[in-house]
Amino acid sequence: MSSLTLDAEALYRDLHRNMQQLMATYDELPLLVGVASGGAWLARRLQSDLSLPGEPGILSSSMHRDDFSSRGLASSAQTMLPFDVNGAHLVVVDDVLYTGRTIRAVLNELFDYGRPASVKLVVLVDRGGRELPVQPDLAIARVALPASQSLELERLDNGQFSFKVQDRDA
């Protein structure tokens, strides 16, 4: 077990502040889309805290994973896009960016629904270790963890966020 401690709520407050600044750069408000499940939790809370109309979208990576044969169908939420993505400016929100493979998969899923005008990637934590050329437009924290450990966002019963660092199964 790692001794890394991250205050997920403090990082969320920084994310909220940075999202306010990012939203101000658009002529027309972008639409939020969260990556299931941690990114979807963040997108829902941001949608509310930023007083944005409607609901955020959710993107699942399940059907476009390149490791589908070894992982099988994940039990994450299904893609739900309550708006037309064609011509829209989107902000994809995720909790932890690691290899880039999940983002590649959700972008493939997104483009199955249409062609957005632009897509920005916002993450709470970038842990490095990229296997694909994927970089966030905004990362609130950058941490280094060995490949043998995972970093997962958890949502507590009261809606607050925390992080769990654990050793991966050998």
pTM of the model: 0.92
CATH numbers and ranges of domains, the chain: 8-65+79-167 (3.40.50.2020)
CB 81 within 8 A of CB 112: no
What Å distances lie between residue 66 and 33, 103, 104, 116, CA to CA? 21, 11, 9, 23
Say if strands 57-59 and 89-97 run parallel, antiparallel, or are unpaired: unpaired
Per-residue tens of pLDDT for the chain, all 170 residues: 446 789 999 999 999 999 999 999 999 999 999 999 899 999 999 999 999 999 999 999 988 866 654 545 555 579 999 999 999 999 999 999 999 999 999 999 999 999 999 999 999 999 999 999 999 999 999 999 999 999 999 999 999 999 999 998 74
- Give the integer Cα–Cα distance in Å for 59 and 89: 15
Q: How far is CA 13 from the centre of its chain?
A: 16
48 three-state secondary structure: helix
